[in-house]
Chain A
Amino acid sequence: MRYSGFRVLSQGLLGNRGWRPAWRKPAPKPAYDVLIIGGGGHGLSTAYYLAKNHGITNVAVLEKGGLGLGNVGRNTTIVRANYFLPGNSEFYSHSLKLWENLERELNYNVMHSQRGLINLFHSDGQRDAFARRGNAMLAQGDDAVLLDRDGVRKLLPYLDFEQTRFPIYGGLYHPRGGTARHDAVAWGYARAADQRGVDLIENCEVTGIDIEQGRMIGVQTTRGPIRAKQVAIVVAGRSSQVAAMAGMRLPIESHILQAFVTEGLKPCIDHVVSFGMGHFYISQSDKGGLVFGGDLDFYASYAARGNLPMVEHVMEAGMTLMPMIGRARVLRSWGGIMDMSPDGSPIIDKAPVDGLFINCGWNYGGFKAVPASGWCLAHLMATGAPHQVARRFRLDRFATGHLLDEEGTGSQHNLH
């Protein structure tokens, strides 16, 4: 069923009795050409692009819970292409271009809103670094504008420009940056993949990976064994456990990241604003809630909830930057499990076992990557060669020293 404004209108008049479930609930078949482990954003987009770009439709996505209940539905929805390093820059640029056509592509309203993103800076040195980053973004073909203090004041008059701890010197403005509705992205890809014949199998946890003579031949699941020619591990925070089923030990440590949302308010924050010095960033959802967050809790964790010290720190940073939010009441806070890599950049590669692929290491920036990650993993699985924009996301780059350390903080998992 195609969605359209006309259909919304006619269904409204007919009492909304004509809507159908957005995807089927098939039972798993005994064998597929391709299995994707993990029904988050990356797994679903991989399945979609396998079908759409490469005509590979004998595919199942195996999800241990429900679709879209992992990090894809827990993030703070920022979509941007403001990376600096060759390797990252072209990848996120490609992803943003896919975002810009995603709603037409999927026939689904993902509420992609290019409201502009402003990264604040607070010293001369930081200004130089941001000017350089902005130039790299322009050289990549994306957009960036270096704002001085008055330029920031014009866009964000509500910031505290008098604070002395981190005086605001200016900001790097990325007009094409913005937000999207996170669940809608998962649902949109799920529906579009289903329409192309992909089986989406929920409540199906993978418990083992079968290997015979160095070759992957299928998986064991809570709904029985399933054979396959190719399997991709796309399980974000659970990457280490699933990879261990194939005897792999990954360069990943799982960490917790928290986020917060306030009660709905009238529109007051029109952009995405990030305050790196204080570890705080914020945007306002279309429902009116202020959505904000900060840094990792900093210790390895699989609890999808955080501790209070980081809550306090984020609130303090928010009050330092924009005291006007002090009266807003926080409704909810939650945490997600982040697959942190030692250089802060992702992995899209073949695994050492034949027929097995791995997509992980998204840290806290994997939502904006959902379209390009699926695009590139599908390309790798279908053609056997890495996609041009993802060729540096190699699993062996840590051993060979070809790190992609965007923040320049060194190889410690929690520092990115």
Chain B
Amino acid sequence: MRITCPCCGTRDRREFTYYGSDDYLNRPEADAPPQAWDDYLHNRDNPAGQTRDLWYHDPCGTWIKVTRDTVTHAIHACEPVAAEGR
């Protein structure tokens, strides 16, 4: 499995750390109900097929949103998280 870092190009999977689903980008407001926090922290769609999740490129420190297939391990797209202004 090779992932394309927007800064460094296509690199071996070993250079990256997996964080979890891109649900982590949708942090609830501080006063959101507990249900929203439970969903954010714990509950997942967990699709068999196309998914979007967050990876960190250890050497350069870029957070990447990776679109990939959980069944075939194919990588479809890699975008920097920062581009969304987060």
Which one, B20, B34, B43, B53, contacts A249 given CB within 8 A? B43
A 323-367 binary contact with B (CB < 8 Å = 1; else 0) = 000000000000000000010000000000000000000000000
> At the interface with chain B, which of A58-66, A91-99, A188-196, A295-303?
A295-303
Which one, A303, A309, A399, A411, contacts B13 given CB within 8 A? A309
B 11-43 binary contact with A (CB < 8 Å = 1; else 0) = 011100011110000000000001100110111
> At the interface with chain B, which of A36-44, A136-144, A226-234, A250-258?
A250-258
Which one, B14, B20, B41, B44, contacts A309 given CB within 8 A? B14
A 359-391 binary contact with B (CB < 8 Å = 1; else 0) = 000000000000000000000000000000000
Tell me whether B45 and A240 are in contact (CB under 8 A): yes
Q: Which residues of A contact B42 (CB under 8 A)?
A: 251, 342, 398-399, 411
CA distance A411 to B55 in the complex (A): 17
Q: Which residues of B contact A254 (CB under 8 A)?
A: 46, 48, 70
Tell me whether A250 and B46 are in contact (CB under 8 A): yes
Tell me whether A298 and B18 are in contact (CB under 8 A): yes
Q: Given the interface contacts A253-B44, A253-B46, does A299 sit within 8 Å of B53 by beta carbon?
A: yes
Tell me whether A299 and B18 are in contact (CB under 8 A): yes
Chain A residue nearest to B35 (CB atoms) is: A399
Q: Which residues of B contact A241 (CB under 8 A)?
A: 46, 48
29 contacts between A and B (CB under 8 A): A240-B46, A241-B46, A241-B48, A249-B39, A249-B43, A249-B44, A249-B45, A250-B43, A251-B44, A252-B46, A253-B46, A300-B21, A300-B53, A302-B49, A302-B70, A302-B71, A303-B71, A303-B72, A307-B1, A398-B38, A398-B43, A399-B34, A399-B38, A411-B41, A412-B19, A412-B20, A413-B20, A414-B18, A414-B20
Residues of B within 8 A of A (CB): 1, 12-14, 18-21, 34-35, 38-39, 41-49, 51, 53, 55, 70-73
